[in-house]
Amino acid sequence: MKYRSTRGDMELQPFSDILLEGLAPDGGLALPQSLPRIGAETLESWRALRYPELAAEVLGLFITDIPKSDLSRLTQAAYHTDAFASSEIVPLKPLSKGLSLLGLSEGPTLAFKDMAMQFLGQVFEYVLDKRHASITILGATSGDTGSAAEYALRGKRGISVFMLSPYGRMSDFQRAQMYSLQDRNIHNLALKGVFDECQDIVKSLSSDLAFKSAYHLGAVNSINWARIAAQVVYYFWGWLRATSGQNAGHAQQVSFAVPSGNFGNILSGHIAREMGLPIRRLVLATNENNVLEEFFRTGVYRPRSAAQTYATSSPSMDISRASNFERFVFDLVGQDADRVRELWHELEQKGEFDLSAMQPDFEARYGFVSGVSTHADRLDTIRSVHRDAGLLIDPHTADAVKVAAAYVEPGVPMLALETALPAKFSETIVEAIGRPAPVPEHLQELASLPQRVEVMDCDARLVREYIKQHA
């Protein structure tokens, strides 16, 4: 399995190279040269596997330059019950009216990002050890990526982490998770801007090939294909659990509703569907920052400025420029790298591009539908799920549940992808049900721990100098 760039100007590379590369040298994103196809017989053979075993099978399709035995050891180390609260790793939680939650928040930072980051921590260290190399991870977070990455990479040999976050735009719990880490290889930079501006700085510095080479810059944001591949696993897992015992067998379709900000989570569902997993619909749910919803409704992609990006009660989705969207557009335009480059040039010049002529394909060909959820919707959904199912869900998951309701079909299970445990967003939970969400025992003293963070203006030059001084 070799990898190419969405913009066409990268030599074919094996997985271990694109793992350490992050953004492609031509500014594009890495994708497999072709996707593996999974047939019904293989799907059924996977039904009895535990999560780490399934991860080894699915990831093994994308990672062919690491021996299968080593890859199995890495997935066993990533997905074990010392790190995850559930023995299933990803439990299925029934709600009502044809809906269930895919429980992706059982990991060490209580967020779905742990599902990929725990594997990344293992595979980064493995590849770096084999190459006697080091790496400087530069990332941006709207809340959960940062803590998941830092918990997975803290103390890892040969790895330094510089994580950019938008100052004042995360919940108190999210800030405490990140900023309380005292490991010498972890550096938190709070920038006076929004997530999109933090992400722009990551892309700017990663596109400076001399700087990238000198400081061995790599990425843990979902521009790194390894993140996407690791997330593909839980779509297969969810399908296998939702169809267990059903007579329809491999023909049974399942729909997935996904809270969407940077487009990485739902892109993994798109990849799984293209691989042959019987997915009926991919329901994209946004909050008030509905750039992606607008695209799937109209075919026009029109990102907003930082000033036009709302601060909402589902803050991890307060994103107006989705860095993974390019990978889907690459498929949408027939994998034409020249066309992708033209579209992103048009985006830079005009602030938008128009693919409305292809809009009918979004659902008919790719299964995508979309919807918006507001603060009032989140509160109502949190209350109703708590009342009807006895479960507390976080605001991002509430966005998915709310939008999913319009697309539930008889006989087609609908799985809403859980984003995080509600303890991370207690202020909104209090507003919804009148009391805070319970905090896991091992994190109850988190808010009282000393915090270490550098606050600075949102300026790539300042970030560059900080990395030079501390890498």
Supply the residues annotated as catalytic: 113
Strand partners, 167: none
User: What is the rounded CA–CA span in Å between residue 360 and residue 341?
Assistant: 23
DSSP classification of residue 182: -
What is the rounded distance in angstroms from the CA atom of residue 167 to the CA atom of residue 206? 22
Tokens of 207: 């596109």
H or E element, residue 344: helix 337-350
Q: Give Cα 460 distance to the centre of its chain.
A: 24
Instruction: Let me know: does 187 contact 152? Beta carbons within 8 Å.
Output: no
Q: What is the rounded distance in angstroms from the CA atom of residue 408 to the CA atom of residue 410? A: 7
Q: Say if residues 281 and 407 touch (Cβ distance below 8 Å).
A: yes
Over its C-alpha atoms, the chain yields an Rg (Å, rounded) of: 21
Task: Give the residue carrying structure tokens 């400076």.
Answer: 208
Closest CA to 186 of 126, 142, 137, 144: 137
Q: In this structure, are residues 461 and 156 in contact, taking their beta carbons and an 8 Å threshold?
A: no
CA dihedral 86, 228, 425, 381 (to 10 degrees): -90
